[in-house]
């Protein structure tokens, strides 16, 4: 069957595509309709709890981006303990979600980035106390970096058009802008080729700022300038083909964390073009490193769980946290007085904590709890080449229905670590088991772990996932494969390799045509991770796993749900449409759910809840769980 006969589905505005979407949505609705109410009620107590999505420090406290399950809120916390709501998403629109709330250092003005799920959204600048809007513009999600109350750096993402200097998208440029004005000045990036992206960070004393420029997900150059000087960028460190990032300033040296050598993380001190190793990791990967209060803090990932250490004149010591389960620590930041962070685990909603001044303890600033008794277990299984693959199992202490939802990703150096499960806790409450697999392609065991799942080594990721599935089969579990985006590629490719290994498959916002991904939206950027299908050498190995090109006997495949968003402007929805259309033409039992409002990130929190309800309804249609199964 010729795959090109489905290319008409790339025109997502055509009546033919919209009719296809409507028809398959109606079919899916008929399949799960009567389960939705029960499932929705069951997940509310886990989904509609307050969670901290992000936190942004300013001089006198923190701006907290809170997710209630119904709306996003921006809440300002100050050192005197006061919590004040600044704005909620429903005040702007029904389908709105907040992604960032960036205050100036004195906290008087804020840039709010909001969207309806698309990567293109609105940058709204507003006075914090009055709530009045100063200025607003629309563009793709990128970074705003405040220099003072009036000036900021804007990293513009050129995703659908060339840069002013003629470089094809995707590409990035840094502009200096003034609050309330359309005028801007290019200050960095002219001539920088396609596939380079960047972000700015700073040291905690506001002396220096750093520009981290990366080709794809590895090769990095770090530049520096005095804080506030938008024109003075100078090369600080060239990491070659290695990933690196600026970590601050300590003892008269700029610090850069680089993943060279064993690729577990090395902190380098740079002064007068001389380089010294400040810290070399030899056991577990460093996932983050930064300077605060004249101390170097290191976040080490020990079997995909976060541990924080402090390096000072007394050596390296762990900063103990009063949590006895695997956790993820993220979003470290600072005020003029304190260091803060977000912590979460499988049954712990993401919460904001703040260290006391001597780092002997920390206290919750914004946190929630849910009432469920889960057990978290960890294990390893040997992959096809003898490499051990770690995975978490999260189960109800008192109930095990021997049905496992196995979540995988394996790409772009993204570590799959303990995060609050929300709606999946309903599945666990009813006896399901959630499994999180730490596959190669991620960064759970360092940058080398990432590289072992890139390009021609991509098959390692699929074999790692298969090894986990087969171990669970040996333990007597029925298997639900689950992956989203690059994880959707994982599930569809793995199904082709062993169609009978799963009893059900759930595939979200997937890539399925790996010979055309680079021609759609920002897919060209991903050639740094997957390889370039236009290069015959790369095309040879990509074509061997591209899901839509390697479908086998569909009578052996389990029921499959593919879900996507019509306005996904990151992974083109035609990946989902074409795969489903071809599988259906071959006689597969496959369903499509398309949200006609949302994009890759979803849309409003209520709309995301509908998506989650439908995912669980699909599972409960095929498996007897709790009181909601068929």
Active centre residues (catalytic): 485, 568, 600
**Encoding tokens for residue 609?**
């809840």
The sign of the dihedral angle between the CA atoms of 437, 438, 440, 441 is: positive
DSSP symbols for 264-283? S-EEEEEETTEEEEEEE--S
In sign, the C-alpha dihedral spanning 6, 10, 11, 14 is: positive
Distance CA 78, CA 19 (A): 52
Would you say 427 and 394 are in contact if contact means Cβ atoms under 8 Å apart? no
Q: Is 21 helix (H, G, I), strand (E, B) or coil?
A: helix
Backbone angles phi, psi at 491, to 5 degrees: -65, -45
Query: Taking a C-beta distance cutoff of 8 angstroms, is the pair 573, 566 a contact?
Result: yes
DSSP code for 91: G
CA distance 448 to 132: 48
- For the chain, the straight-line distance linking the first and the last C-alpha, in angstroms and rounded, comes to 35
The closest of 513, 225, 237 to 246, measured between CA atoms, is 237
**SS3 at position 223:** strand
Whole-number Å distance between alpha carbons of 323 and 409:
26
Buried b (16+ CB within 10 A) or exposed e, 592-630: bbbbebbbbbbbbbebbbbbbbbbbbbbbbbbebbebbe
Q: Dig out the tokens for 196 from the structure.
A: 């380079």
Closest Cα to residue 143, out of 91, 215, 199? 199
């Amino acid at each position: 069957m010729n795959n090109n006969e489905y290319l008409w589905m790339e025109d997502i505005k055509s009546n033919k595509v919209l009719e296809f979407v409507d028809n398959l949505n109606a079919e899916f609705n008929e399949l799960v309709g009567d389960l939705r109410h029960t499932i929705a009620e069951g997940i509310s107590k886990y989904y509609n709890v307050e969670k901290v999505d992000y936190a942004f420090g300013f001089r006198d406290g923190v701006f907290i981006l809170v997710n209630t399950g119904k709306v996003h809120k921006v809440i300002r916390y100050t050192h005197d303990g006061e919590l004040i709501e600044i704005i909620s998403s429903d005040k702007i629109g029904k389908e709105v979600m907040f992604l960032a709330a960036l205050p100036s250092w004195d906290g008087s003005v804020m840039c709010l980035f909001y969207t309806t799920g698309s990567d293109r959204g609105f940058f709204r600048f507003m006075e914090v106390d009055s709530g009045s809007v100063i200025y607003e513009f629309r563009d793709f999600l990128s970074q705003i970096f405040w220099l003072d109350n009036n000036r900021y750096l804007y990293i513009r993402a050129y995703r659908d058009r060339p840069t002013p200097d003629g470089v094809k998208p995707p590409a990035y440029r840094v502009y200096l802008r003034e609050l309330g004005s359309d005028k801007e000045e290019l200050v960095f990036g002219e001539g920088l080729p396609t596939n380079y992206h960047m972000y700015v960070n700073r040291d905690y004393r506001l002396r220096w700022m750093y520009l981290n420029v990366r080709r794809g997900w590895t090769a990095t150059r770090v530049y520096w300038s005095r804080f506030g000087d938008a024109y003075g960028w100078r090369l600080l460190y060239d990491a070659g083909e290695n990933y690196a990032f600026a970590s601050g300033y300590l003892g008269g040296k700029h610090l850069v964390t680089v993943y060279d050598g064993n690729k577990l993380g090395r902190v380098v001190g740079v002064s007068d073009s001389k380089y010294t190793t400040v810290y070399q990791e030899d056991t577990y990967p460093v996932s983050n490193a930064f300077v605060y209060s004249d101390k170097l803090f290191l976040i080490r990932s020990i079997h995909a769980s976060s541990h924080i250490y402090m390096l000072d004149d007394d050596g390296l010591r762990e900063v103990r946290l009063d949590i006895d389960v695997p956790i993820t620590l993220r979003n470290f930041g600072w005020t003029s007085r304190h260091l803060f962070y977000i912590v979460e685990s499988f049954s712990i909603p993401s919460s904001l904590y703040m260290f006391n001044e001597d780092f002997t303890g920390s206290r919750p600033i914004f946190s929630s709890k849910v009432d469920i008794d889960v057990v978290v277990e960890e294990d390893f299984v040997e992959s096809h080449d003898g490499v051990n693959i770690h995975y978490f199992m999260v189960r109800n202490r008192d109930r095990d229905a021997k049905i496992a939802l196995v979540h995988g990703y394996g790409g772009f150096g993204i570590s799959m670590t303990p995060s609050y499960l929300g709606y999946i806790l309903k599945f666990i409450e009813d006896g399901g088991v959630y499994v999180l697999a730490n596959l190669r392609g991620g960064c759970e065991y360092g940058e080398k772990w990432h590289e072992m799942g890139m390009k021609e080594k991509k098959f390692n990721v699929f074999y790692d996932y298969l090894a986990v599935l087969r171990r669970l089969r040996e333990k007597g579990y029925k298997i639900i494969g689950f992956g989203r985006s690059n994880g959707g590629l994982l599930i569809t490719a793995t199904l082709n390799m062993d169609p009978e290994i799963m009893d059900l498959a759930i595939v979200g916002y997937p890539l399925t045509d790996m010979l055309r991904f680079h021609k759609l939206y920002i897919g060209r950027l991903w050639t740094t991770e997957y390889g370039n299908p236009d290069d015959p050498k790369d095309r040879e190995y990509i074509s061997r796993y591209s899901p839509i090109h390697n479908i086998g006997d569909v009578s052996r495949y389990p029921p499959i749900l593919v879900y996507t968003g019509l306005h996904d402007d990151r992974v083109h929805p035609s990946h989902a449409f074409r795969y489903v259309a071809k599988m259906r033409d071959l006689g597969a039992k496959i369903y499509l759910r398309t949200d006609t409002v949302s994009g890759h990130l979803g849309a409003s929190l209520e709309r995301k809840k509908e998506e989650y309800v439908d995912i669980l309804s699909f599972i409960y249609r095929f498996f007897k769980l709790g009181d909601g199964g068929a």
